[in-house]
Structure 1
Amino acid sequence: MLLLCLDSSAVASAALVTGAGEVLGSFASPDTRSHAEVLAPAVRELLTGHGVAGGDLDAVLVGTGPGPFTGLRAGIATARALAFAWDVPLHGLMSLEALAQDAAEDARAAGHEEFLVLTDARRKEVYWARFVLAPDGPRLVAGPGVAAAERLPGLPAYGRGAGIWADHLARPVPAFAAAQPTASSLGLAAARRTVRGEALPADTAPLYLRESDAKVPGPRKKALA
């Protein structure tokens, strides 16, 4: 199986990942303001560099967040458009599973049976999910959610959200203080699921978790006579 993976829940990223869990190529931009501009060229370069046409893919996989409105929409819209144009299946996976994939080896070495992964939700909050470390990898047991860091349980906490709010958490993991979800790790999480015999979700609805700051203007008020 060959997956084109996209994630824009934090940084804009793309990757080619096999069903055996091999990352053939990847791209990640540190700029969180240019997701729409960089994703399509990155995909083109990845495919061209590996001699892959869109129709050769077995599926497109996209991270569904949680994340901010503008960035998250860019990745999901790109994934939907490419899957439609190439007539290949489209799958969605919660972006925090990518962080859990990255954290699992460290958590196992440290003897952590459960852990949190956190990304920055702004407004003095974090996006969070809680995982238990099973023999075949991390499994989601709670979340995703959005909350102030001090309201979360005192478990080891991985990810940039934990780095930003380390002083408000019981057990932040410093080595992962800058870690963000990436398309390559999302693809590895998907490969782990398929090895377990689990089908990849077809739902690509974005996980915004809270309302947008943008509001539809109300009716114009009449001027007083």
Structure 2
Amino acid sequence: MATVSVALLLLVALTISYPLACRAADEDPLQDFCVALNANDPQITINGLLCKPAAEVQDADFASQQLGNPGNFSAKLVSAVNLASATTFGALNTQGLSIARIDFRPRGLNPPHVHPRATEVLFLAQGTLVVGFVSTAPQNRLFSKTIYAGDLFVFPRGLPHFQFNPDKSKPALAISALNSQNPGVSQLAVALFASNPPLPEEVLEITLGVGDEELDRLIKSVQEVISM
């Protein structure tokens, strides 16, 4: 009888915890839609964006041509990311979703970065990419694969990952879906070498095992990349 009672308690605990374990990155919406109002207003500090009155929402609010063209290409990385999120496509507000177009010229790179609030699934529409992420368990294990047009690849939430076009003559085009209306992004090199204010040089030198001259070279190199 005691065994049955313990089993019932475990079942109740699992039932209660299951929705929490399966919860998406963003909270579930409490209404059909909430088209963002004044998405770029810097004074809005709520966890999300204000909604247009339902009576003012139009058919056109649910359509966007934002991803019809590439984003701005980085001269050094020769890649471009164009992200449609709640701030640029108001219909995504409260839907727990963003979508990005990523263009790669030959040898283009989307450098190691993390999305702190979203898992990403990438669909390769054109070309070839070498993709990968580094896990925490097994610790610092690189999961990497060469993918081709029509393939999918998943980058788990919060883990460092990258995409690289190894082809020397052909471009690549990918579409990524992220399960947050504001996934966030932090490039690892920029976070280390171009933060504002800068990280203490002693911290970087000890962490990387480099001296003053090598650290200065790394900082200048990263700053040149992000300024172009």
Alignment TM class, shorter chain as reference: under 0.3
Which structure has greater helix proportion? Answer: 1
